[in-house]
Chain A
Amino acid sequence: MAATKDFAATGESTIIGPSILINGKLSGDEDLTVRGRVEGELSLTRTLIVEPSGIVKANVQVKNAIISGVVVGNISATESVELTREGRMVGDINAPRVIIVDGASFRGRVDMGNAEPRPASERPAQRATSVSRPIVRPAAVVAPARPPLVSRPMGKPQPPAAPVISARFERSEGKPPPPPPPQPVLVGEAGKKKVLLKKKK
């Protein structure tokens, strides 16, 4: 005779408990909190919250997504996707606002749609051609790769290691200023032998 009168009081929020597995299509117009597993397809007009114990293996269409658990699949959000510190995700994100916090793990593509229509005055010298570039590659990596080549046309081709190093640096440190231009040169001198080998090609 378990009484269940009070469940209605929980209102407009759906919770998938930690031991629950849902396999199939799930759709709705309210917030959804996943502590268990959802596999298949998920579409909401509100917010999806994947808690640390939650696992979603699905193609997701939502307004907002906050991911602290595991998501495998593509997410398309009309507003925002946030990967928190505990969030792990493999798949593509398509949303105008994408937030990936330090500590989150993510593999996939990010598409924020057309670059936000900022006035040209706000933009650096860069041209619109960079829009088609994968957004994953921050501008900081692109920038240092070029000046050395221009300033030293004689030789010392850019060692391939340099962009990787700067990329790692950036990831661990958050958003440091772009690495100083001398750095790649130093690396190039240290790895002179490699450079010579390359010239022979």
Chain B
Amino acid sequence: MANTVIGSSITIDGEISGDEDLVIQGTVKGKISLKESLFVEASASVEADIEVQNVEITGKVTGNIAATDKVELKADCRVVGDVRAPRILIADGASFKGNVDMDVKER
């Protein structure tokens, strides 16, 4: 699989950047910037500012999220922070605290 996976026992403290999909099952603190999609899985814990194209969150995220395309907060996710994206989906069962801004002209 060409994807990048941060496994569940991995802790990263710092910056992650790249041009490909990233799956997080572990812990990431700092900053994430991607030109592709980010998947925060149920086991994951992210304390970071996120800049991506798409993000799909099933786990825990603390930090501001800015997506050029879409942010999807799945059921059982826990998100604290501001979310900015043209498309934002919040599923039933998701827990979220923060501002939502869908009026994205330029980030």
Contacts and interface: CB of A to CB of B under 8 A. Distances in A.
Contacts of B5: 7, 10, 13-15
B26 interface: yes
A20 interface: yes
Contacts, number: 95
B14 A15 contact: no
Interface residues of A, number: 27
Chain B, interface size category, equals 20 to 34
Nearest to A24: B14
B26 A36 contact: no
Interface string B12-52: 11111111111101100010000001010100000000000
Q: Which of A18, A22, A30 has the most CB of B within 10 A?
A: A22
Nearest to B30: A24
Given A4-B56, A16-B4, A28 B22 contact: no
Contact of B1 (A12, A15, A19): A15
Contacts of A24: 12-15, 30
Contacts of B7: 12-14, 28, 30, 32
B54 interface: yes
Contact of B4 (A2, A15, A25, A28): A15
A27 B7 CA distance: 11
A30 B13 contact: no
Nearest to B56: A4
Contacts of A15: 1, 3-5
Contact of A8 (B15, B16, B25, B54): B25
Given A8-B41, A10-B1, A30 B9 contact: yes
Interface of B: 1-23, 25-26, 30, 37, 39, 41, 54, 56
